[in-house]
Amino acid sequence: MAKRKKHGKKTVARKRPRRKDGIKYVVKEIQSELKKLTGQEEEMQFHKKEQEVLFDFYFRVSKPIAQEGHFVSDKELHDMEQLLQQRLHEPIAEYKGRWFSIRELNVLFCYQQVMAIQGISFKRRIELWKYLGDIASFHQKPQEFVDNIYLHLYKTILLCSDVRSKIYTLTLLHTPERNNRPRLDINSCVGVFHSVKKSIKIGGKYHTTYRVIKPRLNFPRFLNYNIGGFKQYHGTDLDEVPVYIQAHALNRMRERLDLLSDEALNYNLFENLVYFKHFYDVRSYILIPYHLYDVKVGYFFCQVIDDCFVIRTFLFITHFATPEGSDLKDICGLGKNDVPYWKIDRLSTFMNVDAEQYPKLSAMFEKAGCGDLFKLHNEEFSVEAMQTANLDGLREYVLKGRMEVEEPVEEFEY
């Protein structure tokens, strides 16, 4: 029996949502999208059973709401909604030189489910096949399509989060069926975790550091590193310590990776601090390699201080304090001040050098272990491009759901 609600002194029956209204609405949207995808002038007409299948597999992402107990402003929710909707229409998958957005993948997925209906006639199947034209042979497994939805949501919060201010999370909710809405009406619940600051005494002075918190779908990951293998060399009795990053390191990243936007820097920061394979223990410092795509471009120089793993600074790979920079110094005699003078301590310099035009120069960098920098010439340093390149690793991370104005730093002020 339908629920009843009070309306003044009268009791009015609340109408049940009508499935057929939702089906009609969804089919109209899919027909419109299919015309754009195929270039056909006529809309594909669907039988009743086919319309029901389209409705069952079509999804929408509704306006996010704030998670209970979290203060998320209306502006933040609006911005998150705009970004979620915008990214639904950005290219994510390629087939025969053509790129498709998540929204287009969804339309194709629904259409493919219609073609797979048991008992459908051979004639009808051919008719459906011909309507798609060249993209008829493009197939995606159900799990792959679902993965892409989760990746879309995850990459959005990763883009919005910043270790210096706020880390966002998204929890998916399934909203009840309503008029003019598809059955898979996905709502998202936004949580926000504010940055954790800590003043740590380094070299006699206190410096602001930020707790490294990596955004995830349901709950953020507060990053900790296990340093048990060499803790005796770094003044701590703990096997596992929390990870903090100095404001100085973030500033040096921005300066030396000068072709990356703030969003791209933020994204790559999280990726490099989670996915690296091992530390390099050099003198009194711990080095974490920093990669753009598969190319090593520098290192985080870190120390264990006050039972915290502190990322002190970021050095470009050519810097004389890095292993490769030390070799470069031995090979060509570049001094401490030569690297910044010739600006070979930043990404833009290498993107402006033609390795084929200067073979001796490129051979020198190759010998020092920096030659891969020239491989980045044809790469795009946008968040979207880097996320696409790391899609496999990103998918694995999401689906496994693993829980787990500053004073300069004297010795790194180069």
pLDDT score at 343: 62
Residue-level pLDDT at 44: 95
Reported confidence tier of residue 318, pLDDT bands at 50, 70, 90 = confident
Whether 130 shows a pLDDT value over 90: the answer reads yes
More confident residue, 243 or 139: 243
Higher pLDDT, residue 301 or 7: 301
- Residues with Cβ within 8 Å of residue 196, at least 6 apart in sequence: 210, 211, 213
> What's the Cα-to-Cα distance from 6 to each of 3, 9, 13, 295, rounded to whole Å?
10, 7, 9, 65
Sequence-separated (6 or more) residues with CB below 8 Å from residue 293: 376, 379, 386, 389
CB 250 within 8 A of CB 164: yes
Structure pTM?
0.73
Q: What is the pLDDT of residues 354-389, one digit of tens each?
A: 666 666 667 777 787 777 777 776 665 544 544 444
36-47 average pLDDT score: 93
What per-residue confidence (pLDDT) applies to 4?
52
**The predicted structure's pLDDT at residue 379:** 61
Question: Would you say residue 252 has pLDDT above 50?
Answer: yes
In angstroms and rounded to an integer, the radius of gyration of the C-alpha atoms of the chain is 27
Amino acid in position 378: N
CB 102 within 8 Å of CB 87: yes
Q: For residues 65 and 393, which has the higher predicted lDDT (pLDDT)?
A: 65
Q: What are phi and psi of 32, to 5 degrees?
A: -65, -45
